[in-house]
Structure 1
Amino acid sequence: MLIDFLKAFFLVDRAQLNRYNKSTFQQSALRILITLTLLVFLGVELNSLFIATDKDSELFLTINSLSLTLLFALLFFCKKYTQASSLLFLGTLAVIGLLLVTLSNDSHAAKYGLISLYSLPLMARLLFSFRFSFLLSVANLGSFYLIVTDSRSLELTGSVGVVPAFTSFYFQVLTFVTLNFALPLAVSRIMFTLEQNATHLESLYRRLNRNHSLYEEIFEHTGTPTLLCNKYGKVLKVNQPARKLLSLSQQDKIENSKIQSWLVPLNQKTERYFWQSNAVECTLKKDTNVYIEVHRATLTNHGHYMLHLQNVTHLKALKQELEDSQETNSRLVHFDALTRLPNFHYFCSQVNQRIKQEKTHYTGAMFIIRISQFKLLHKQYGKDNANRIILNFSKTLQSRLSDQTIISRLRGVKFACFLPLGQAYLIQRNLSALIKSVLPEQIRMDGNALNIDYQVGIAYYQNDDQSAEELVEHCEMALEYSNSAEKYSYYDHQLESKLVEEHKLGLQLGDAIKRNEIVLWLQPQVSPNGQICSFEALARWQKEDGNFVSPFVFINIAEKLGLLPVLAENLLRSLIPTLSEWHDEHIHTPVAFNLAGQELMNDAFFALLMSLAADHPWLSDMLELEITETSPVMTNPLIHKRLKALHQYGFVIAIDDFGTGQATMGQLIDIPATVLKIDRRFVAPLPDDQRHLDIVKSTIQLARSLNMKVIAEGIETREQANLLIALGCHTLQGYYYAKPAPMSDWTNNNHEKAKELRMVY
């Protein structure tokens, strides 16, 4: 008990020693020094009670008694007033030392005083800084001077000889140097090293904590049930999805238990070390009707195993039903394993058989349904829940279509239907309404309603020579031309010719991009007073025959083929040298560069854009980024995140073609755009069309309320220009001011034309 009390009082127990705290160390040192000094003075006081004292010792004892009182007081107040107590303690020792050295005739008292003075630097270093300790060491030169010049230190010279005096003098020097300089400097060096090590360890501890928190977060939020175990099957860690999958409550302690306590492998050969297999099927020990598939990933640095768990109970049940049925082999060949709908080959066989059995003038239609946002649902809800969505959709579709309809799951999220038609549904509008009525707008899952969006490609069966395979191909062609605006697309021969032509053009486009044949033209953007204030960079493709391909055509093809990131990278690299020269020439005319969204989703292009911004700090002042509002990726959270990063780099973000596509009011707030660009289709009917005028007014008012700049494009007349200026447009663009021109027109003759900020009258 006494030892524990002393450890706690002197702050040297395990809890205090395990953490670095400078104030705690100083308080501990102060308590130890005061206590030891107090014991010394208390011993002197007790000794005086038994030994008679002469008059020379009375001063020493008086000082000793007063010091005891002060030391007791400092020991009491040192916890609350550590700094003040430290100063008073050092001051007390200094005063005692000076009094005993200068006033006392007792040689022993003088020695005590000298020790008190010489001990001050060392104590000061423990309680304060090195500078304060060094000042006290220098101040002790005065004490040393008093001692060595005092005649009493040399009294023995006459009676004993030179050697004792010489020895006494050099003993004083040695004592002075050792106590005042050597020990404080050595202790300072030790404390400095300890402080540096403590700081370094504290930095390493913070980094370790950050990394640990990061790994904890990654492990916990992978979205996949995961547990970590060692090579002996001891569970080290488990995330929340895994706890939920294993039906564990928060009170269940799975850590440090054996994995065999929770999972039982189906294959008895792998029962002993089943967690070391690449993939193994197990059941829950507490519920053998739940099947878990375990996939192993080895962590080579530590020799542990990361196990990913997947609930395959539903798939297991379907598989078991097929195996128990007499038609197992047939179903595996002809039916989709998940939905039990006919697969492509069996579907075509059934449709062809239906066509042959019907009359000569049999009329029908085939349509392919594609669930639009399924990739997002798959990513958000996981594979198992995505399969449940597909299953629920197929059941709903079967329940709403007639028995005469043949339904198939082609692959993934594509479903094909072939149905007989009455006369009324030969009109495309009526057939579209029929298809829309059978497609569920929502799918319920775990009590939640999920909105489902579709794209549909439709083809009519019109002659006896058509086969199911041809109809599927026609539906696929039509599906290629469906989009978020036109969800129902019908096949015709012109569409087929258009697809063939687009295919050829796509091959030429790929070659043109490789050869950098697509170049940038610049169209000026002017302020209300007619002065050129910026440009828009527009892609132009001139084929070898001299004909230009419309940007609307080749940009759309590039987007379908996934070539936009490569095209944008080539165009951006061609623009940077011109911007660099303009920056050097002080031509402060920014250039707006169009992005369709697909480029920002590409990691390589985004990394290029960020590296260019880092290499050219001025680039954000010379390059503006216009993201097309019609792009479907506008709603993707990754786009919002990357646009915010670019905005933080200083880039001006503009929303192009505003009002024609995907943006909502909420996204206007999420996207860090500072510019709204009014599309030409709203500007063209001005000033005569009142409805378009109201739309433009409301758009400008919306931009003003969001503190955004407004650019109007497609201006072709003076009346349109004057009207838009009066409405408050900040920047204007169109053929009325200038048509797009090759970039070389602005850079020839040492950028002569670019340096002329001309007025338009």
Structure 2
Amino acid sequence: MRETFAIIYILLIILLGLFGTISRRSSKSVAKPVSYLQFTFIVPIVGNLILVLSENEFLSTIGSYIYSIGMDLMVMCLFDFSLSYCGISWRNHKKKCMILYSILTIDIIQYFFNPFFGHAFGMEAITVDGTLYYRLVPYAGQFCHRIIVYLAYATSLAFFIVKTIKVPRIYAEKYYVILFALSLGGIWQTYYIISRTPIDSSMIGFTICSFLIFYFSLFYRPFRLLDRMLANIASKLPEAVVFFDASDRCVWINGKARKILNIHSDNFEHVKKRLTSWFNIVDTGEDNWSTKQTIGFGKAAKHYAIEKHLVTDVKNKKIGYFLSIQDNTEDILNHQREIYEATHDMLTGLFTKEHLFNLIRNKVATDKDSSYSIALLDIKDFKMINDIFGNEVGDGVLKRVANWIRENATEEWIFGRLSGDAFGICYPTGSARLDVVEQRLSKFVISNGSIDQHILMHVGIYNVTDPSIDISIMFDRAHLALTTIKNEFNVHIAIYDDNMRDQVLWNQKISTELEAAIKNRQIVPYLQPIVNNNGSIIGAEALVRWLHPDEGFLPPFKFIPVFEKNGMIALVDKYIWRCACEILSSWKDEKSNLFISVNISPKDFYFMDVYAEIMALIEEFKIEPSRLRIEITETVMMTEAESRMAILSKFRKSGFVVEMDDFGSGYSSLNQLKDMPLDVLKIDMKFLSKAADNHRATTILRNVLRLSNDLGLFSLTEGVETEDQYKMLNEIGCQLFQGYFFAKPMSVADFEKLCDKNKGNL
């Protein structure tokens, strides 16, 4: 008996080790707890193996320790596995789990004190069939151990009992098999304890339980569940499904197929024949194929999509196939209706803008031997027509214009409605007599029966020279031509001039790229030093530059005029103000005394509260207002002068220094100097360079400097390019200087290097 059980235990240990290793390699979430459980089952079996083989009391005692501690480890890992397998969150029961783990840990520790106190167990020698064994004699510690192990074991059983009750019966199989095995192992272990036999045969039961856990956790597939689910899914599919075996005999059809094929019994012998006659299906022998068929004509037509799918076993041998038959009639009709609605304007029946663009794009791309023209037709003051005569009349005008286009078009023309009162046309160049069209447009009248109303329309035309450009750009060019005559009443047609192209494209390009350029910091501040009479750098003016990824370094004249015109200069200015504040807040030590002048455009006052924006930046970056100088031009005061003066006064009261830029280069007047709240007067050296009489210009300049000094204004001359100019300006009383003689505008890093180089002069 001893040798038999020893061999059995060794085999069980090997198998448990193998299953534990396989579990470790699995990617399933439950694999790790399964692996730990397999390995911990080995520990009590090793303890029992020593007890079975040993006739020595000391070795038997060691075996008892291994066995008892192994039981603690086993129920601990069984508890962890039960949580994972039953889908119970450890975090939701963290305290309870920690209590159980702590009790089991204490139980393990108490065995280490048994050699000193003898409180857990002792050993006694017995003879069975003439063979000497040592068996464990339990004391108080061992009884406590058994209670703890049974409680932990019962907790795991409780998880499986609750799960078996709660889940649907078809899912319960994977739980009650393990529950049954665990219960059997527990009963077997109880019998061993009560019978006090020297060999714990319940280890075989626990091992069988571990094998079941290994299989059901990692490899079990609920085939009954899958079969029932697949049957239910096939029955509820929206398409008809017909299953055939390997011999081409129909074995099952779902309800949808019964309805289509008009089959009311479970006799499927004639299914294939009916399929062949109804759908004219000819099986070519291919494993998988699909086809679309239309049965009937006109409004009674039915549209079907039919597919064949081969079914094979694990060895890739054919076991059957199935046909799916989808009635697509409603979808196709809806699709056709959606296509029409998506491609046609509901009011006029003309093509929509998107569809028109696609048709033109395909026409121009495929017919490269022909030349085409794009025309944009616009109704003048259409909103006024709606407001005066009502929407019904307005809709009538649109329909009449659409019909007029149809009447004048040839088969080669493509036309549609672009927007409320705009229509687009693509026609072969030369197919339209523009003089005739001009005459007809001048006489275009609509009538409601009693009143005739002349409708003024303008047409912009772009002759396509580059078919590769986007259609929307072609219409943009036609629109640009139209805008040149939008206020004309006697001229109705204008043709796009290619000379407009480059500037228009450039303006559009940089305008659309501006926001991204700001976001990606392609727009950068350049600083031009401002020096005093001694040549020391006391500050800088922030000038904008664009480091364009495609165009390279862009000077301001390439983009500032465009943004000044379209109002986007406000975005640029606002960004440069922020950059200036960032730079000022980063300057420490000697640089903390430097200032930066920022420009404010007249357009800024229309798009934002300039004072509030700049004050918010001052507060955000925690800098002194005097270090951020406000630089305006005389054009700021051209409109709303009182309001602008009030804003500039608020700046000065808040501690800002206000500068007037380009004094003397435009139409600056002494009246402005009298009224404007200023601190610094910036004089442009172009004042001298443009003068025919240099002596007179110098005299005026000297007196302007003297006047600014008498008014309590600092004077700053910009555009200083030579040492002679610098000396002359110094002599006649100028206080601050800026220009290429000192330094050109440079990056912030270069400016800081220049300041570091001239530390003594800051």
TM over 0.5: no
TM-score by length of 2: 0.35
Larger CA Rg, structure 1 vs 2: 2
